[in-house]
Structure 1
């Protein structure tokens, strides 16, 4: 692979790296950051791991930090439509020009990335950390990609860390028990750096606490040190170590967002105590204006087309609870696609019986599981199941069956959410 010379060639270089490649470890990222003069040390970092809810938590925290007047860098994954979504400054996606320039800067200072390419995620993480330093952000919010201990984002030092609920996902990399998975997520803990922990299953919390004791990490635990409660009028009340907030209104929908908002607020409290100032009113404003596409996102009318990136059993349970709360009595016509390495059985068994019909579609990724591979499994759960060659046909049939008053649900993978968003022209 030859070295790119222009921003356009640089973006093409990134696109040629394998988006599905996973190579755990920090050596390559560490070498690259050293060659770049350690850009990751030039700003405070909120580092968020977990299985579900970490993206929404990052969005809440980043928007609140912006409301407080901070120039915020936000790094998340995966993207839905364009890779630029992964790197945001001040709420705006990185431009193609800036993205290409940042890639050229990295390759100029670390040419080994051409001769021995890093993974897509590793290289993107290095580029993001460099870009944030180059444009001069005040604070960075980093979402882990997979796990924590050996995730590329863990090469950055942290000011505050957080762990959202841990559940079963990526077991081939992280382990087959909640304790093992939580232990990997707890790899983001740094000596003496406070960690905000969402309410967890007992075995997951025990693993996190064990790691915290070894490193001398002060834990801020939901239900013990902070909590948010939904009030009869739909508002939230939050009680933390210092803050008590009432009348909170969330911009993100679903009952699960109460927990994500609570974790974000506890993170903001901890950041405020460590020099990244946020007031109570600024925190409330941020939680009321955050956006996080592809999570209970309505993108169509008559029928409503609902996008949700649930892609593991815990995510599907959260989705079902939200459907019962937000769309009571509406028949659900599901467009479903899944990647081959997911634990699909529990997902299907929970979701499909709640659907009036299911349209199976392949995904536009090499990791896609062909619908034919689980068509019989699906039909045992809901009689009205059809396999389609592409998402366009599946979506058209789901909309036809739903009629103007029904609900079309697109779920099973963030790949599918991105495909539908692109087709419907959602900004």
Structure 2
């Protein structure tokens, strides 16, 4: 960054951050930790309790359910997640409300002052955003801070903060350019958020052995799905059994379907219980019944939006769609980045999809619609259309759906975010037209 006058708007700040560092992702904690130290973020606890969530898939839904459950119990919360769908403000929620522009800008200014206080430290967009969010949380420490790891775990900027409870949801292949293709190596990176003597909640029964190995090396207390906590049943009326901070047995029955993976719901309950919060059955029921997470199995009429972008997530999506048959066709509107495993995603989705609309994305990591379409055609799939953007593809498809058809929008946060914006714009346009027609 230069020494020019600081920009005053959030959009200007974000544009500046995007241009300030030569690479978008640069793993390592040395630079982040130095600036965090200068900001005083390492001198006192960030919150009454901190839960850090890492994993390939399921982080966002686990964080959402942790937040909903805690808030329903009267606990003050801060939740930091990434990336966002429509607004950068989505990344930081304080007591369930998105941070306003002024707070985010103040955080960026605090980071800028600290990184220039002495030998200048270069930071990425994500690192500045993370430090700014931590600064905002620390200004009014909540009872519970929930931090979602951006990429990996061990070297992610979020890991500069020690958690009281660490959660690893799943481990699968993704971000190969940074984490490699070896599941054991990826697992070790994810497990980098674990801390000695503190609970490590393992939310999948198929984690690589390296996760437990790291826990054992550290002396972390392993609390694993189907070993220390369980969930039984699917959909409405499922039950959970786990343990509290002192190891006491806990049970909850007749729980509602949150519309999100139940393994992640069970994991959220277990992690929250380990903070020492007594779980009230009625309160848990209400919280899970009302939890919302845009872009994760989000149904807008006949359109299902999900940010799944790797084979593991796509397999879950296909299973959910097959368990919910429709009278018509299922059309996938697919847009993916160039560094993602498109062929693996197509293979996983194919059993649940009748036809495809391939859409292109923009940016240095973009993948074109033609690339996706050619891969689909080579597999013998029915490609209805190729569109330059998700919004263009959604508009084209909306005009051609039969009443009994449904649409799956997936492949990237960028794909879902743009279609969600298109949907909201279309709904507003329709409302405006209706108002004009009804005017005297």
- Give the alignment's TM-score, normalised by structure 1: 0.91
- In structure 2, the partner of 1:294 is 295
User: What is the deviation of 1:102?
Assistant: 2.1
**1-side partners of 2:36 and 2:97: how far apart?**
24
- In structure 2, the partner of 1:52 is 57
CA offsets 1:230-280 (integer angstroms, 9 cap, x no match): 25x721110112211001113324xxx1111010011011111xxx55444
User: What is the deviation of 1:288?
Assistant: 2.2
Give the direction of change, closer, same or farther, for the CA distance of 1:25–1:112 in structure 2 (3 Å limit). farther
Q: Is the 8 A contact 1:62 1:141 kept in 2?
A: yes
Q: Secondary structure at the match of 1:288?
A: helix
Q: Is the 8 A contact 1:333 1:402 kept in 2?
A: no
CA offsets 1:89-120 (integer angstroms, 9 cap, x no match): 01111111221122223323332699544111
Higher mean alpha-carbon deviation, 105-114 vs 391-400, is at 105-114
**1-side partners of 2:252 and 2:174: how far apart?**
34
**2-side partners of 1:179 and 1:162: how far apart?**
17
Q: Is the 8 A contact 2:93 2:99 kept in 1?
A: yes
User: What is the deviation of 1:345?
Assistant: 1.1
Q: Secondary structure at the match of 1:200?
A: coil
Q: Is the 8 A contact 1:332 1:402 kept in 2?
A: no
Matched, 1:250 2:261: no
- In structure 2, the partner of 1:240 is 242
Give the direction of change, closer, same or farther, for the CA distance of 1:11–1:27 in structure 2 (3 Å limit). farther
User: What is the deviation of 1:293?
Assistant: 0.6
Matched, 1:166 2:171: yes
Matched, 1:403 2:402: yes
Superposed, 1:166-205 pairs within 5 Å as: 166-201=171-206, 204-205=207-208
Query: Mind listing any 5+ residue stretches in structure 2 that lack a counterpart?
Result: 244-248, 428-440
**1-side partners of 2:410 and 2:119: how far apart?**
36
Q: Secondary structure at the match of 1:240?
A: strand
User: What is the deviation of 1:329?
Assistant: 4.4
Q: Secondary structure at the match of 2:399?
A: helix
Higher mean alpha-carbon deviation, 383-392 vs 331-340, is at 383-392
User: What is the deviation of 1:405?
Assistant: 2.0
Where do 4+ consecutive residues of structure 1 move more than 6 Å? none
Matched, 1:67 2:81: no
Give the direction of change, closer, same or farther, for the CA distance of 1:331–1:10 in structure 2 (3 Å limit). closer
Matched, 1:259 2:263: yes
**1-side partners of 2:46 and 2:342: how far apart?**
42
CA offsets 1:184-215 (integer angstroms, 9 cap, x no match): 101111111101102232xx342111111110
Residue number among 330, 337, 345 corresponding to 2:343 in the alignment: 345
Q: Secondary structure at the match of 1:284?
A: helix
Residue number among 323, 326, 334 corresponding to 1:325 in the alignment: 323
**2-side partners of 1:243 and 1:354: how far apart?**
38
Matched, 1:230 2:237: no
Query: Larger relative contact order (C-alpha < 8 A, sep ≥ 6)?
Result: 1
**1-side partners of 2:174 and 2:384: how far apart?**
26
User: What is the deviation of 1:386?
Assistant: 2.4
**1-side partners of 2:403 and 2:376: how far apart?**
26
Q: Secondary structure at the match of 2:145?
A: strand
**2-side partners of 1:66 and 1:388: how far apart?**
42
Q: Secondary structure at the match of 1:100?
A: helix
**1-side partners of 2:138 and 2:118: how far apart?**
20
Q: Is the 8 A contact 2:373 2:383 kept in 1?
A: no
- In structure 2, the partner of 1:418 is 417
Q: Is the 8 A contact 1:352 1:358 kept in 2?
A: no
Q: Is the 8 A contact 1:296 1:306 kept in 2?
A: yes
Give the direction of change, closer, same or farther, for the CA distance of 1:377–1:190 in structure 2 (3 Å limit). same
**2-side partners of 1:409 and 1:207: how far apart?**
35
**1-side partners of 2:6 and 2:68: how far apart?**
33
CA offsets 1:116-152 (integer angstroms, 9 cap, x no match): 4411111111011100011332210011011111011
Q: Is the 8 A contact 1:166 1:200 kept in 2?
A: no
Residue number among 333, 340, 345 corresponding to 1:335 in the alignment: 333
In the alignment of these two chains, the number of paired residues is 415
CA offsets 1:76-97 (integer angstroms, 9 cap, x no match): 1110011110000011111112
Residue number among 366, 369, 374 corresponding to 1:368 in the alignment: 366
RMSD over aligned CA atoms reads 2.3
Q: Secondary structure at the match of 2:275?
A: helix
Matched, 1:217 2:220: yes
